[in-house]
Amino acid sequence: MLLMNSMLKEKEFSFGYDVHNIRLVEEHVVSNYPAKQFRMSKGCGDDVMNYLKIYNFKRDVELNELIDACDGAGWFEE
């Protein structure tokens, strides 16, 4: 069990102004991850999230491609 826990990863993402592509990321996460496995935050008055944290992150090629397609001032942690 200890080995399994050490392999699980958390990933954090911050997003900028690309509303269309950020909405695609939101839809993918909500459709493919259990609600307890992620946290999304929206700023006051924002239409889409500006922060995403995924607990127990596993390789998700489609999600990575969606995030890479987002423009704007954002960052992510490896």
Mind listing the pLDDT tens digit for each residue in 23-66?
Answer: 999 999 999 999 999 999 988 777 889 899 999 887 888 998 89
Residue 9, token pair as written in the block? 């990863």
Q: Rounded to an integer, what distance in angstroms lies between the CA atom of residue 19 and that of residue 34?
A: 23
Residue 45, token pair as written in the block? 């008055």
Q: Does position 74 have pLDDT exceeding 60, yes or no?
A: no
Residues 6+ apart with CB under 8 A from 4: none
Q: Does position 20 have pLDDT exceeding 70, yes or no?
A: yes
